[in-house]
Structure 1
Amino acid sequence: MKKRKIPMRKCVACQENKPKKELIRIVRSPEGNVSIDHSGKKSGRGAYICNQKSCFELAHKKKTLQNQLAAQVDDTVYEELKKQVSETRD
């Protein structure tokens, strides 16, 4: 029986390769809107971040999401991301 290949993605903050399912995807749509992609299937340019508070804080401080997506990331996206990270790590 063949083993399925697990898709790996790199966190923009810590630069670690992890399984895609363990990361949070932030996507810039073709129209230029930036949002969190809960399904992992939205079309557009995507960036991945670990589900850890330290990675969120590093990405926010260094503005790595803005650099990776080549778009302005709104504060509402950061607030939603912060909420999602803190909910999963309690």
Structure 2
Amino acid sequence: MSRIRKQPQRMCVGCREMKNKRELVRIVRSPQGDIDLDTTGKKPGRGAYICPEPECLKQAIKGKRLQKALEQNIPEGVLEKIREQIEQDKTGQ
């Protein structure tokens, strides 16, 4: 008799909806202070989860929720890189 495993739930910092962890994209601030997209979900550091939708990223940036979750101001160049990666992942599917 196999047990049904619970799926870990995380809240998107953009739309504030609880979703399965695997449906979301993790943005991580490494111990060195670098901010990057974590595609594996295993990078060390403080993470924030967001839906792979450009609109959710826009809401998270506008409301400064992403900066608050990562406890650091995010340079515009890094935000643009994350925006491009989410757009690329969206069109690549």
TM-score (norm 1): 0.87
Does 2:70 correspond to 1:72? no
In structure 2, runs of 5+ residues without a counterpart are: none
Does 2:41 correspond to 1:40? yes
Moved more, 53-62 or 79-88: 79-88
1:32 Cα deviation (Å)?
A: 1.6
Hey, what's the Cα distance between the residues in 2 that align with 1:63 and 1:73?
A: 10
AA aligned opposite 1:72: N
The percent identity for this pair of structures is 44
In structure 1, runs of 5+ residues without a counterpart are: none
1:85 Cα deviation (Å)?
A: 2.6
1:25 Cα deviation (Å)?
A: 0.4
1:7 Cα deviation (Å)?
A: 1.0
Hey, what's the Cα distance between the residues in 2 that align with 1:50 and 1:40?
A: 14
Hey, what's the Cα distance between the residues in 1 that align with 2:19 and 2:70?
A: 19
CA deviation vs aligned residue, 1:27-74 (integer Å, no higher than 9, x gap): 111122211111100111100011112111111212211111111212
Cα pair 1:36 1:77 within 8 Å, conserved: no
Question: Where does structure 1 differ by over 6 angstroms across 4 or more consecutive aligned residues?
Answer: none
State how many pairs are aligned.
90
Hey, what's the Cα distance between the residues in 2 that align with 1:30 and 1:87?
A: 27
Hey, what's the Cα distance between the residues in 2 that align with 1:28 and 1:47?
A: 9
Does 2:6 correspond to 1:22? no
CA RMSD of aligned residues (A): 1.4
Cα pair 2:61 2:67 within 8 Å, conserved: no
